[in-house]
Amino acid sequence: MNRGELAVWTAHEQWRMEQLSYDLAGGHATGRQCREAAAVFDHLAAQLRGHADGLDGTVTLDEPDRD
């Protein structure tokens, strides 16, 4: 994914995160909505780690889950 595509995708996912935060606060979030958002955020995190590796010339190893 090139940086332009990554920028557009992160902007869209920012909107998704804002919608989810309002729904969570208002008690309107669904399980499906939360699972879909989590899957998207996991994929976005992987894309961002890959982009960071390209910028730094490094490779990110699997990191432990941070709960």
Four-CA torsion 52, 18, 34, 46, nearest 10 degrees:
-10
**Structure tokens, 60:** 């990110």
Tell which residue, 47, 60, 67, has the closest CA to residue 1: 47
Average pLDDT, the chain: 85
pLDDT in tens, 29-54: 999 999 999 998 899 899 888 888 88
Does residue 64 register a pLDDT over 80? no
Does residue 11 register a pLDDT over 70? yes
Is pTM beyond 0.75 here? no
Residue 19's pLDDT band (cuts 50, 70, 90): very high
Share of the chain above pLDDT 70, in %: 88
Alpha-carbon Rg for the chain, nearest whole angstrom, is 14
Other beta carbons within 10 angstroms of residue 37's beta carbon come to: 19
Contact 40, 13 (CB under 8 A): yes
